[in-house]
Amino acid sequence: MSEPITTPTELSVPEVARLAADVLDGVGRAVVGKRRELELVLAAILAGGHVLLEDFPGLGKTLAARSFAQTLGLDFRRLQFTPDLLPADVTGSFVFDQRISDFEFRAGPVFAGLLLADEINRTPPKTQSALLEAMQEHQVTVEGTTFPLPDPFCVLATANPVEYEGTYPLPEAQLDRFLLRVPFGYLDADGEWLVLARRVQRQREEITLPAVTDAAGLRAMRRCVERVTVEESVGRYCVTLAATTRTRPEVQVGASPRGALALLLAARGLAVLRGRDYVVPEDVKDVGVAALAHRLTLRPETWMQRVSADQVARVVLDSVPVPASRLPGDGEDQGEGRRGPKVVR
């Protein structure tokens, strides 16, 4: 039996970066050739958000979610979404207990540190909406009674493309609850061979990864991310990016202020992964497509032109001027900049 993990209540940025690198190395043992995608997922988790993993079947989405739960030491639940799934199957319900002659609440799978909502778009919007309160307020209300969810709580949802038969497009309100949407994509030939080789080498289907940290450790990592500073110009860059999506001719409904907030939060998580306690515009650009694309509703005529939301988001990122970032403390002896750059926390 492995010894319990003890994590300090407060962690510095270098300590969090080292822990995060160990988590990514561990998950990388199971999910081959997707380091950049895994970095985005972990950045969102550290920022306290949820992630939608949307792509074709068989690309490692479910494996990635399970691997993150193992390496982060979180209580893990997997819920397979199907057309006949009911909201109570997600949240839980009150059941009459004859022993005490009263109703007793039996918690559903949403009461977990990390919930894998597998194929979330295979269930009707009514059941999908059962996650809205959980993802936003980290609580569940059943028959007028509110139950808090574990801390930390994170949803990693997988979805097949909506062109597949038997799927339901996710409502805009549901999509907006996901901090990032991360597609995995296909591996190259060498990557696919490595998947086969590792499966043959371990001589079993399942793979078990050692825990790098635990729930207390993840809470400490999140507190560290909350201390990351953001220069005003970088924050305004996030605002401009979100606002520009609303002016694009291809877009019917652009990103809301929550989209700008998603850019900032995910960029802070990515900055910590890179060993910094401040955000630079490159961090924002690297999370830009994942944070904005799923928040865009395109005009119907763009579907005939084969224009995707990802393409529109990339155009926005390329068209908006990138501010000249300054390191904290720069400009102390430069006249009006003597007080240093404005930052927000």
Number of Cβ within 10 Å of residue 76's Cβ equals: 18
Q: What is the pLDDT of residues 283-340, one digit of tens each?
A: 999 999 999 999 999 898 887 888 899 999 999 999 999 998 665 555 544 333 333 4
Give percent above pLDDT 90 in the chain: 62
- CA 99 centroid distance within chain: 42
The CATH code for residues 8-227 is 3.40.50.300
Task: Give residue 272's pLDDT band: very low, low, confident or very high (50, 70, 90).
Answer: very high
Q: Average pLDDT for residues 214-232, to the nearest whole number?
A: 95
Q: Domain limits of the chain?
A: 8-227, 228-327
For 59, the 3-state DSSP assignment is coil
**What is the predicted pLDDT for the residue at 341?**
45
Q: What is the pLDDT of residues 160-169, one digit of tens each?
A: 876 666 778 8
The CATH code for residues 228-327 is 1.10.8.80
E-only strand ranges, the chain? 51-54, 76-80, 92-97, 102-107, 114-118, 139-142, 145-148, 154-159, 180-182, 230-231, 251-253, 297-298, 343-344
Q: Average pLDDT for residues 251-256, to the nearest whole number?
A: 91
* pTM for the structure as a whole: 0.89
